Chain A
Amino acid sequence: MSPRTNGAAQKIQIRGLHKSFGPKVVLDGLDLDVAVGESVVVIGGSGTGKSVLLKCILGLLTPDSGSIKIDGEEVVGLGSRDRDRVLRKFGMLFQNAALFDSLPVWENVAFGLIQGEGMDRTDAKKVAIEKLAAVGMTAEVGELSPAELSGGMRKRVGLARAIATAPEIIFFDEPTTGLDPIMGDVINDLIVKCVQELGATTLSITHDMASARKIAHRVAMLYDGKIIWAGPVANIDGSGNDYVDQFIHGRAEGPIQMQVRAD
C-alpha cells in the first residue's frame, strides 16, 4: 500500500500523552502524528499500551495529561455533545469485532446510520447490504445473528460496520488476531481496498508483521510508554533499532525483556 499524501496536514496529533493505572505507567509522554489519508500501524508487545492509546484518542479513557488533536481540535476534556460530534468522524474495527449480540448482522452494520445519523431503517438496511457486499458477504448473512458467524465473518461484519458511515478516520485493533493466515490476508486486502475507496486516515495496532507490512504507510513502535521508532514501512527491516529488529523477527533474546509475571 503506498501513501497517497505526502507532507499533508495532520489528521491526528498527539503530544506528551501520559496514562497510568495506579502505580503502573502505561503511556509515558507519547508523541505521534498521523497525516491526512495516511495509514499508520503501531506495533509493540502485549501490555505495552497500544489499546490504551486508541481508547484515549476515542475518549473511552481519559489521559492523565497530554494533548490529542483531531483536525487541529483538542479533544481531551471535550463535553459529551462535542465528543459525539468528533466521534462521528471515526469508525472502529474491534479486536473481537464487538458485534451487538441482540441485533441481526444488517442492523449491526447499519447501527451508526440509524442511531448516529438518524437514517430511516429501510434505507439504512440497503446501505448495510451494500457494505456487506463490499466485504464479500451476501444479503442473507445480514439476517443472521452474530452468534451464527465464524471468527473471519465477524471481522468482516465488523469492518462493514466500521466503514458504513464513511468515516474520515478508521481504527483497527488487532484486525487479524485469531484468524488463520489465509483469512488474515483476506481481511488485510479488504482493509486496504475499503480504506482506499473511502480515502480515510487509519491508525491500526497489531502484533502481526505480515498485516503491518500490507496495510501500513508508516510503522511506529511503542515500547515503555513511548514511540521509540517511527518510519516508512519500507524502512522497517533497516531501522537500525535493536528493539524494532527483535520485535519484527520475533526473537526472545534482545533488549526487550518479556515480563513473565504480573507485578
Chain B
Amino acid sequence: MPILQPIGRTFLIFLATAGRLSLFAANGLSHSVRPPIYMRLITRQMIDIGYYSLPVDGSTAIFTGMVLALQSYTGFARFAAESAIPNVVVVSITRELGPVLAGLMVAGRVGAAMAAEIGTMRVTEQIDALDTLATNPFKYLVAPRLIAGITTLPLLVFVADIIGVFGGYVVSIYKLGFNPSIYLKNTIDFVEVEDVASGLVKAAVFGFLITLMGCYHGYNSKGGAQGVGAATTNAVVSASILILCFNYFITEMFFAR
C-alpha cells in the first residue's frame, strides 16, 4: 500500500535516530565516569552554562515571579483568596516555572552554542584532529559538557527559585499592599523540601538533555555552514521539546499519588 510506505519509512527513521541517540548518550555517560576526567574543561563548561546564564536566568525568573503574583491577585480576588498568593508563587516557581523556564533559556543560549561549536569542529576536521592526537572526542568534548550540564543546572535553578520568589514578593508588597513579614512567613511555612527537590531533579535532567542535544547534533553535523546552522536549530528545538516532555513525566513521578 503506497500510503503506508511513508509512514513506515518515517517510523523506521525515528527508531534509527532514537537508537543512535541512545548509543551516543550511553557512550557520553560512560566516558563521564571513567578516568581521565578533564576538570579544567568541566570547570570552563560550568562557568559557561552557569555563570554566564545568570543574567538571562535571573531576569526571566524575576519577571515570571512578578507576573505570577499580579495574575494570581487578579484571579484570586474573585474568590477572596488573595492570601494564597505567597503559596501559589513559591510552589509554582520551585516546582515548575523555575526549572522549565531556566531549562528553556539555557537550551536557547547554551544548547545552540554547543551545537555550533562542536558542529564547526566537525566540519573543519578538528574532531578528526582530536582523534589523531590520541584523544577520544567523547571524553574531551562530550563528557565535560554532560557533567557540567547535570551539575550546574540545579544550581542555576536554585538561584532562579530565590529570584522568582523575590519578584513575587516585590509586587505583592509594593503594588498589592501585602505585609512583608506575613508574606515571608506564609512562603516559608508553605514550601516543602519536596517542592524544591523536585525542581532541582528536573533541572539536573534538563541539564543532561540540553547538553546531550547540543553535543549530539553538533557531533553529527555535516555539509559546512548550512549543516552547522541546521544542527544548532535541531539542538534547541529537540532540547525544548524534550524538556517539556520530561517535565510531565518527572512531575508525575513526584506528585501523582
CB atoms of B125 and A84 under 8 A apart: no
CB atoms of B128 and A55 under 8 A apart: yes
Inside 8 A of A101's CB, which chain B residues have their CB? 120-121, 126
CB atoms of A115 and B133 under 8 A apart: yes
CB distance from B169 to the nearest CB of A (A): 41
Give the distance in Å from the alpha carbon of A98 to the alpha carbon of B131 in the complex. Answer: 12
Inside 8 A of A84's CB, which chain B residues have their CB? 134, 136
Given the known interface contacts A84-B134, A87-B134, the answer about A100 and B125 at a Cβ–Cβ threshold of 8 Å is no
Give the distance in Å from the alpha carbon of A98 to the alpha carbon of B127 in the complex. Answer: 8
Closest A residue to B128 by CB, please name it: A60
Q: Mark A67-107, 1 if CB is under 8 A from B, else 0.
A: 00000000000001000100110111011101111100000
Closest A residue to B40 by CB, please name it: A121
Instruction: Give the residue of B120, B132, B136, B140 whose beta carbon is less than 8 angstroms from that of A92.
Output: B132
Closest A residue to B120 by CB, please name it: A101
Closest A residue to B125 by CB, please name it: A98
Inside 8 A of B135's CB, which chain A residues have their CB? 111-112, 115-116
Closest B residue to A86 by CB, please name it: B134
CB distance from B79 to the nearest CB of A (A): 56
Inside 8 A of B244's CB, which chain A residues have their CB? none
Given the known interface contacts A58-B131, A60-B131, the answer about A94 and B125 at a Cβ–Cβ threshold of 8 Å is yes
CB distance from A134 to the nearest CB of B (A): 18
CB atoms of B124 and A96 under 8 A apart: yes
Q: Mark B101-145, 1 if CB is under 8 A from A, else 0.
A: 000000000000000010011001110110111111000100000
CB atoms of A116 and B134 under 8 A apart: yes
For the complex of A and B, 5 pairs with smallest distance between CB atoms: A98-B129, A98-B125, A116-B134, A112-B133, A87-B134
